[in-house]
Structure 1
Amino acid sequence: MDNGPIGVFDSGIGGLTVVDALAKSLPNESILYVGDTARVPYGNKSKVRIQEFTNEITQWLIDQKSKMIVVACNTASSLALDYIKLKFDLPIIGVIEPGIHSAISITKNKQVGVLGTNATIKSDAYGEGLRAANDKISVVSQPCPLFVPLVEEGWVSGDVPTAIATTYLEPIKRSNVDTLILGCTHYPLLKSILRQILGSDVSLVDSGEATAAAVNSVLSKNNIVSNKNTGEIHCYVTDSRDSFEALAGRFVHANISTITHVDIS
């Protein structure tokens, strides 16, 4: 048993979709969440910079006695997960592998689409993972660099995000994709717009729930499950608390105990 918190981080507020899934499936676990809002988005940063940010936040979460780390950022998962796994001696998982497994279990025609940041799409982490699992799968990848700023500003409905999403989704609509991976933890907040554009024939894969299941497995395997009756959620942001606090309720339905500013870099 280990009553230490699960450390979770993302470039901004999007990783709270993973926190929400964790809180629902593992209500006895406490969670420390870092939103690196001072340096969002990660998607247009270099691999070296993303590794640097990821290393700093992971070390900070370990200093706060986190028992495992969840990299709730697709960009960091694709470019820095292996890097920090070599540096730190505790369980660390990302969000890409759970998303891949979900997509493979859902697709019927083996035509899978991936939406992500420029960095995630350029890395081809999803494409490589999908093809490695099943070489008959065809992948259509589409970068959506404006989605993260839209969500961070709360623009998740209306004409502007709909117009942008319509443009981004053209290659997906032209293909025969039946399953679409939302390859960024910000993107689930745009689900209603994506469904409106794509219709009901395309299944949307949000890796939050799959990641929560993977966390549960890691906790059990390492015998670090909490024996507390209820866990707490504590959030830390590297920029102003105000916008984070205003938007957090859209992402997390459980109670957030505290939201605190922290300097990590």
Structure 2
Amino acid sequence: MSNERPIGFIDSGVGGLTVVKEAMRQLPNEEILYLGDTARCPYGPRPAEQVIEFTWQMTRFLLKKNIKMLVIACNTATAVALDEIKKNVDIPVIGVIQPGSRAALKASDTGRVGIIGTIGTVKSGSYKHELQEKAPDTHVSSLACPKFVPIVESNQFNSSVAKKIVSQTLAPLKKEKLDTLILGCTHYPLLRPIIQNVIGQQVTLIDSGAETVNDVSTLLDYFNLNNYEQTDTKARNFYTTGSPKMFKDIASEWLNITNLNVEHIELGGK
């Protein structure tokens, strides 16, 4: 039996494309619908209630497209909205925090783990809670990096400006003697080479989004939702509340796909 319905991915902007990239690699048979709320990005500084409301708006939009699973490919939204959405929809829903925490504990030898994320994610304490619940002795250092998402959203993640901002922002973490650092925002893997260079080659970087796809794969098996239909062209449809051109420029480069189908939609509210 094959289930050809798509998997839905939602994010505050283009960051969740890092999760989609991994999904396309691990799950080539699956159809993908992606919605990035670029017009209202970043979510990090917004009040939790507003992030929950925006996440519901995105979720409802994709539910109307008959998705079989929802991936909240945004750490801020996962931190505040995952539990509520999970309880109120009848398809499997996955966030990015649990898989990232699990991978960090597996990778760390010294138990000194750093987390970088948005203001909202860091303030929620979700990563720290997950890490210390599984391994109470873990030394956790958290740092909000509010300037990182705008760099990625404006397609400047390879620029000299990006290098300068990353270097200045991460300076406090260099004193913490970390051996593992969680990229606690799905936008951050686009800055990965710069982050690695600044924090040091001895620190293992954990991409929460990529780790999440392992869980997606497991749940597809568990719920018997795999698409076994093998065709040359799987549907990859992308929606954005912002500029389709800007979105397409970043997505085409990151996913290495030409002729991306990107559509502008309105979700309402600011």
Listed one character per residue, the Cα deviations across residues 54-90 of structure 1 (whole Å, up to 9, x for unaligned) are 1111111111000000000000000110111122111
Worse-superposed segment, 249-258 or 75-84? 249-258
2:245 to 242, 245, 248: 242
| Structure 1 counterpart of 2:263 | 260
Cα deviation digits, residues 148-179 of structure 1 (max 9, x gap): 00001111133322221112212210011100
SS in 1 for 2:266: coil
Match of 2:189 in 1: 188
One-letter code aligned to 1:248: A
Which residue of the partner structure matches residue 95 of structure 1?
A: 96
2-structure distance, mates of 1:57, 1:33:
10
Give aligned-pair identity as a percent: 41
SS at match of 1:169: helix
Tell me what 1:51 maps to.
Answer: 52
What does the per-residue CA deviation read over 1:205-248, in whole Å, with 9 as the maximum and x for residues that have no partner? 11232111100111110011112214321100112201101111
- Worse overlay, 202-211 or 109-118: 202-211
TM-score scaled to structure 2, two decimals?
0.95
C-alpha distance in structure 1 between counterparts of 2:37 and 2:221, whole Å = 29
Corresponding residue of 2:129 = 128
Pairwise mapping of residues 91-170 of structure 1 onto structure 2 (< 5 A)? 91-170=92-171
Contact 1:42 1:75 survives alignment (8 Å): yes
Q: Are the aligned partners of 2:248 and 2:260 in contact in 1 as well (CA < 8 Å)?
A: no
Aligned residues: 265
- 1:38-64: CA deviation from partner (whole Å, max 9, x where unpaired): 110100111110000111111111110
Identify the residue that residue 180 of structure 2 maps to in structure 1.
179
Distance apart, 1:254 and its partner CA: 4.9
Cα drift, residue 197 of structure 1: 1.1
Equivalent-residue separation in structure 2 for 1:134 and 1:194 (angstroms): 26
What is the CA-CA distance between 1:255 and the residue it aligns to?
5.8
Secondary structure (helix, strand or coil) at the match of 2:70 reads: strand
Q: What is the letter of the counterpart of residue 98 of structure 1? A: P
Structure 1 regions of 5+ residues with no counterpart? Answer: none
Q: 1:28 to 1:151 in 2, by over 3 A?
A: same
User: Which stretch shows the higher mean deviation, 124-133 or 247-256?
Assistant: 247-256
Task: Say which SS state the counterpart of residue 8 (structure 1) adopts.
Answer: strand
Secondary structure of residue in 1 paired with 2:94: strand
Greater alpha carbon shift after TM alignment, 181-190 vs 226-235: 226-235
Gaps of 5+ in 2: none
Deviations 1:114-140 (A, max 9, x none): 000000000011011000010011100
The whole-number CA distance in structure 1 between the counterparts of 2:14 and 2:259 is 13
Counterparts of 2:55 and 2:81 in 1: how far apart (Å)? 7
- When structure 1 is superposed on structure 2, of 233-242 and 253-262 the one drifting more is 253-262
3-state DSSP of counterpart to 1:42:
coil
The CA RMSD over aligned residues, in Å, is 1.2
Amino acid at match of 2:243: S
Question: Match for residue 228 of structure 1?
Answer: 229
